[in-house]
Amino acid sequence: MGSHVARQFSEVDKLRTELLNNVDVITEFQRVEEEVSHREILTRIESVILEVVTSLSKDEAPVLALPSRSSWANISFDSAVGLQMCPGSSVSAVRSDCPSSATKFAQIVKLFLVIYKLVQSNSFATKRDIYYNNAQLFGSQKAVDGLVDDISCMLKVSRRSLHVLATSKGFISGDLCYMEEDGTRIDCRSTSAAVSVSSNIRGIKNIVSSAKFVLIVEKDATFQRLLDDDFCTKMSPCIIITGKGVPDVNSRLMVRKLWDALHVPVFALVDADPHGIEIMCIYKYGSVAMAFEAHSLTVPSVMWLGLLPSDLQRLRVPKDALIPLTRRDESKLCSLLGRPYVTGKPQWQKEMELMQQSKVKAEIQSLAAIAPDFLTSIYLPNKLRYGGWV
């Protein structure tokens, strides 16, 4: 049994050795900043409100300056960190005397009040709580979500430091046990059911795992298929996690937490389409909107395990399982090929150019056209055994 496991994971172990040789460099660049003290956060909020009060005392309309989180112009790229916000990034003015932004101004001030009370009392609230307690003012949950991130960026602190939590949408399963901040012990080793990703990742402690690797699975349907086929037992010891499509912050924080704690290879299993590639890039290099928190959200060591465009030809996936690229797909692919993190990865470029030339895409489920259990019995075990990642 021992020699079988050794052979099965020999390439994975080699990759881990390579990663560990670079881990000091990665840690140096990706050092997670110390949490800002409660007093410092309160002082930063007081400073913003003082400016508002000062403007009012001079009979001037108060203005808030929010960093622009949606512009590539404010982003720099570092291969050891990912996408990060440049110092001195451009800002957008939220005026209290302008009809188009007066409501937004009031929403931000209200959020500052809520956050101040939470930090001061050392209590937590979910974004959902905040919305329902002030539904008329905020109008939608989406407004609260975006403004909390704006304030986090403005104050240069993590969202958790603001004592605002979000309900997680991701799931995790495999060789992993840990303790929540409140002392609850979580065991992810059940073979039939997954565990919801914690809503308080920073509070996780006492992580215990013998996992050889972590597998990020793009879609919930594929994740459930891996559970049904007992993948975590077949490829034991390992951990699988899904953010169910575009990952929420908690799923990304969890992947980063596992990397920091275990330093084992992290692989991505996504559809062979531009959308799947972009989702993998979010885990690996981050997103423009959350670039201000890149140091705690990205894992640049993530490897692309599949589904590779070259796999479609190599495995002769039946043509009726392939889908023609849409104009939107082609546009997204061109955009990806021009991004700084792709231009430095020739193997990724080659795969994407192959997709461009073939003009087809495929979902992970397309492998079922070869054999119903092809994904879990042949494709993934062989990929992991023979180093089929890029």
Q: Taking the model in full, what pTM does it have?
A: 0.88
The residues, any chain, with a CB within 8 Å of residue 354's CB and separated by 6 or more, are: 309, 310, 313
CA separation for the pair 45, 51 (Å, rounded)? 10
Q: How much is the pLDDT for 5?
A: 55
pLDDT at site 40: 92
Each residue of 27-65: pLDDT tens digit? 433 444 456 788 999 999 999 999 999 998 988 889 998
| pLDDT at residue 35 in the model | 65
Cβ 168 vs Cβ 248: under 8 Å: yes
Give Cα separations from 110 to 118, 152, 330, 371, 390 (angstroms): 13, 14, 43, 56, 47
User: Mean pLDDT for each consecutive 10-residue tract of the chain (390 residues)?
Assistant: 64 85 53 68 93 90 86 82 81 87 92 94 92 92 92 88 90 94 89 86 91 96 93 92 94 95 95 96 91 87 94 92 93 92 90 94 93 92 92
**DSSP labels for 335-371?**
HHHTSHHHHT-HHHHHHHHHHHHHTEEB-GGGGGGT-
Give me the residue spans of the domains in the chain: 38-165, 168-386
What topology does CATH give the domain 168-386? Dna Topoisomerase Vi A Subunit; Chain: A, domain 2 (3.40.1360)
pLDDT at 24: 54
Q: Which numeric CATH code is attached to 38-165? A: 1.10.10.10
Catalytic residue annotation:
132
In this predicted structure, what is the pLDDT of residue 6? 61
Cα angle 37, 257, 89 (rounded to 5 degrees) comes to 60
**Cα 168 from chain centre:** 12
> Can you give the pLDDT at residue 93?
86
